[in-house]
Chain A
Amino acid sequence: MAAARRQTLAVWKFASCDGCQLSLLDCEDELLLLADRLEIAYFLEASSATVQGSYDISIVEGSITTAHDAERIRDVRSRSRVLITIGACATAGGIQALRNFGDVEEFTSIVYASPDYISTLSTSTPISAHVPVDFELNGCPINKQQLLEVIGAHLAARRPRVRAHSVCVECKRRGTVCVMVAHGTLCLGPVTHAGCGALCPAYDRGCYGCYGPMEAPNTAALSARMAALGSEEVDLVRVYRTFNAGAGAFRDASEAHLPQGPDG
């Protein structure tokens, strides 16, 4: 009897830092085993050998910032049975989504002497704004163990075990003393999606929200608490406007603290 066909995996990059796809190469103990089980059919960072056609699982890193990329993601979707987005760029637009709040022409002229050579959209948007996505894995960067879980789950055709609760739960499980309660340190843990293992509080700093909003976060209550601890409005805008600035709950929370213009 012939062996079952190995499923094919493709890894795609859009606007990003490469860190999330590097997480796959950072699976030093599992990478070769994974390559035995799956056919890595398209992964330019790792190999110049590419298989054209369609793929069982596509892993997508990065956000959409050019008209060409908006077309390219539709092509990737049409050739992928399962499409999984990884990281804050792909799931929320990334740090480059800060342009969504500013003037992209001004941004271009700050960085480049000849802005005419640059073609870019005025926004950085998540993949889900362009095509249907089967699973989103949060994080800036993602947790490589979670990535393995997500790939493994799709190979086994089961639901990935990725919890949507807050970082607070991870602190409790880890036995870390609450940095906000004990030291008055500003912390986004109460509204941030779990997955990192509550790293920052374990290193005596507050969570800065790199895993994006948890399911149904109470940002208003947290903002009030941070204000009571001394945060000014500008701090509250900044704290929600980092790597997941484009995620709905963080975007709304930041806008609640913008200075009111002369027209109210």
Chain B
Amino acid sequence: MSEPGERRGRTRVIRTDYLARVEGEGAMYVRLDGRTVAEVKLRIYEPPRFFEALLRGRAFTEAPDITARICGICPVAYQMSSVRAMEDACGVAIDSGPLRDLRRLLYCGEWIESHSLHIYMLHAPDFLGYAGAVEMAREHREIVEQGLQMKKAGNAVMALVGGREVHPINVRVGGFYRAPTRAELSPLVEPLERARETALATVRWAATLPFPDVECAPELVALSDPGAYPIDLGRIVSDGGLDIAPADFDEHIVEEHVEHSNALHARIRERGTYLTGPLARYALASQALRPLALDAAREAGLGPVCRNPFQSIVVRSVELVQACDEALAIIDAYEQPDAPAVEVTPRRAVGHGATEAPRGLLYHRYEIDEDGTILDAKIVPPTSQNQLAIEEDLRAVVERGLDLPDEQLSLRCEQTIRNHDPCISCATHFLTLTVDRG
């Protein structure tokens, strides 16, 4: 929701107090002094909810249910990073087999749901010139309906494997409460096959959208999972030479608290801004895409690396093909495990977990006592890692758009933010956009 630009002498301010079509509450503020961009802020004013503090004193088994509530858009990401971290603390690793496959299947469901929501309901209206999906549906009902159908397929996976779409109930440290039978998964096949076809059509459609010719510079960071596209585990790698175990996250990534934001800003020690999410995953792991997804990417004209944040809609569509295809492959090969979970016995230790939320890397670290009581918790969500990169993008967009009228510049700025699918509720630690031209 844009406010008219303000001018005082040579100062020009472009601001949006309530960003629309993002998850959670944020604002944008840009101040120009003549033709110089003096200040760019992505403000996160979503009230803090203090998850890290309220986790202290809780049982280690409660972390997946509690941390899911950080974000209603990507609860599975929180559940997966927390169970990985707790299992790590307790010396358990579920790196293969049917329990890991079920976790990836559930995570694919969340990617499909979240990416469909972002592509069709939050991002596409920017390219087609509508305020939102409902307005877009008045002229492009079939496009919105196909997005909703794909979203529904993702939700069906979450509801079946996880128990429900928002805050699934079936995830536990060690695995699941109940593992589905092969027969129970079979109703997912038909909607996922349709969703896969729609995802392929989405890649072709997204590639035809008009993209400004821009590139972002930050170091790209994603998980690396040899032989697979990164989702649920792996080392943390970058195109700048980073290659670390999740346990070494703190050694290489620092979080800073800045005045304008209730989100902490993360940067790579001694190097600075980095970006996680679809562009990073694609650049670092496109060779691990399933052939169907890789072919779709090539046909859409994507090279091995895409640094244009506006084109993230194409990359997200490729990831939709990937997630649908992988979900179908998991279901096809699935055999119900003997037990729905492995036993996890607490011990006094520190554990780390990193997984790929739809919008980027999500890191959890817990210190637990010998009886499993959580002594300390640290959660670094994707949006606080991406915030500096988003602000750098904003600065570049404003520098290129100095001659645009305020309203157009503001819209371009908002679109720049939405390119990254920021999840403000996630940034618990926590977003507002205002442009000041001077």
Contact = CB atoms under 8 A, between A and B. Distances in A.
B259 interface: yes
Contact of B54 (A21, A23, A98, A196): A98
Interface residues of A, number: 63
Interface stretch (A110-118, A157-165, A167-175, A254-262): A110-118
Given A17-B69, A17-B70, A203-B163, A48 B1 contact: yes
A32 interface: yes
B23 A47 contact: no
A263 to B, nearest CB: 22
A238 B73 contact: no
B163 A200 contact: yes
A177 interface: no
B132 A47 contact: yes
Given A141-B166, A238-B58, A108 B50 contact: yes
A106 B48 CA distance: 13
B71 A18 contact: yes
Interface residues of B, number: 71
B132 A46 contact: yes
Contacts, number: 192
A112 B429 CA distance: 7
Contacts of A120: 47-48
Interface string B114-151: 00010001000100000111110100010011001101
A111 B20 contact: no
Interface stretch (A130-138, A148-156, A204-212): A204-212
B155 A204 contact: no
Contact of B134 (A22, A35, A242): A35
A100 to B, nearest CB: 11
B167 A210 contact: yes
B169 A200 contact: yes
Contacts of B145: 32
Interface in A86-118: 94-96, 98-99, 102, 104, 106-108, 110-114, 117-118
Interface string A25-42: 110110110010000100
A55 to B, nearest CB: 16
Given A26-B155, A32-B134, A141-B72, A16 B425 contact: yes
A17 B66 contact: no
Contacts of A83: none
A107 B167 contact: no
B24 interface: yes
Contacts of A23: 166
B264 A17 contact: no
A28 B75 CA distance: 19
- Among B2, B137, B425, max chain A CB count under 10 A is at B425
B286 interface: no
A59 to B, nearest CB: 14
B204 interface: no
A158 B389 CA distance: 50
B35 interface: no
Contacts of B72: 16-22, 141
A140 interface: yes
Contacts of B49: 15, 65, 94-96
Given A99-B50, A111-B50, A112-B429, A32 B166 contact: no
- Among A25, A49, A111, A210, max chain B CB count under 10 A is at A111
B135 A140 contact: no
B228 interface: no
B330 interface: no
Given A15-B46, A18-B73, A28-B151, 13 more contacts: A17-B71, A21-B72, A22-B23, A22-B117, A22-B166, A28-B148, A29-B152, A31-B134, A44-B18, A95-B49, A95-B51, A99-B50, A99-B54
Among all A-B residue pairs, the 3 with the closest Cβ atoms: A19-B72, A47-B132, A49-B131
